[in-house]
């Protein structure tokens, strides 16, 4: 079906998996194609890997903490390597774990008390190449004091977001009402801060990656 987003769920709560199946069955734009209790069940193991001809789904809903004791960061990276995008789901908005998940490459984070329209909107955002913003994610990022996350001034963040989104530096400067030279100074400061934090940014693609990793466009 053209335009339908395929979804897989990895959660060790069978009632939740069945509940999501019933929920998503009524959403014509989404199609649940797989459910599993672990990432190994979804993707296979090194001894018996799943055929790598295609990703298991466009978007994988991945429980943060699984009873098999698997590492959340490793789970995220394994799923990302298949080409799927990852929406983390959890029972609690644990700030440190949210940041860790985003650092590992997760595209969004929702707690399990959200309603169906919120979940559907998040899945659609991920499938369209955007991040799934949520109150939990915005809160976690706002209070992230990790040394790896540079503290950017409002103007540095503004120029970074515009430039990393695809604007030219000239366009970003015009939008901010400053000269190109001043905009370049702000961008150079951003790069220097990330360099000092051990996360160098040499290209526009690097900058866009830092925006996603730090969810700078979340609020």
Looking at residue 193, which CATH number applies to its domain? Answer: 1.10.10.10
Structure tokens of 166?
């695809």
Q: What angle do CA 219, 111, 76 make, to 5 degrees?
A: 85
Distance CA 172, CA 160 (A): 9
On whether both 91 and 17 belong to a single domain, the answer is yes
On whether both 18 and 108 belong to a single domain, the answer is yes
Which of 80, 114, 142 is a domain's end point? 142
Structure confidence at residue 85 (pLDDT): 92
Burial 42-60 (b: 16+ CB within 10 A, else e): bbeeeeeeeeeeebbbbbb
Distance CA 213, CA 194 (A): 12
Is the full-model pTM beyond 0.85? no
On whether both 109 and 163 belong to a single domain, the answer is no
Residue 61 clears pLDDT 80, i.e. is over it = yes
Q: Which domain holds residue 178?
A: 154-213
Query: What is the chain's mean pLDDT, rounded?
Result: 84
On whether both 120 and 208 belong to a single domain, the answer is no
Structure confidence at residue 160 (pLDDT): 92
On whether both 102 and 166 belong to a single domain, the answer is no
Burial of 208 (0-12, 13-18, 19+ CB in 10 A): middle
Structure confidence at residue 45 (pLDDT): 63
HSE at residue 189, side-chain half, CA atoms within 13 A, is 16
The confidence band for 55, taking pLDDT boundaries of 50, 70 and 90, is confident
């Amino acid at each position: 079906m053209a335009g339908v987003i395929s979804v897989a769920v990895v959660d060790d709560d069978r009632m939740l998996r069945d509940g999501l199946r019933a929920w998503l069955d009524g959403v014509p734009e989404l199609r649940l194609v797989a459910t599993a209790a672990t990432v190994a069940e979804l993707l296979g193991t090194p001894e018996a890997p799943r055929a790598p001809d295609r990703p298991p789904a466009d978007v994988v809903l991945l429980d943060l903490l699984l009873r098999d004791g698997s590492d959340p960061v490793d789970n995220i990276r394994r799923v990302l390597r298949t080409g799927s995008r990852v929406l983390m789901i959890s029972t609690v908005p644990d700030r440190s774990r949210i940041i860790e998940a985003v650092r590992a490459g997760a595209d969004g984070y929702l707690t399990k008390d959200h309603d169906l329209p919120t979940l559907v909107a998040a899945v659609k955002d991920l499938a369209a190449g955007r991040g799934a913003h949520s109150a939990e994610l915005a809160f976690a990022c706002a209070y992230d004091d990790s040394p790896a996350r540079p503290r950017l001034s409002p103007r540095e963040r503004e120029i970074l977001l515009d430039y990393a989104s695809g604007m030219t530096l000239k366009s970003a400067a015009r939008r901010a009402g400053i000269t190109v030279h001043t905009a370049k100074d702000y961008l150079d400061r951003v790069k220097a801060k990330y360099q000092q934090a051990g996360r160098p940014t040499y290209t526009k693609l690097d900058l866009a990656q830092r925006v996603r990793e730090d969810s700078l466009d979340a609020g």
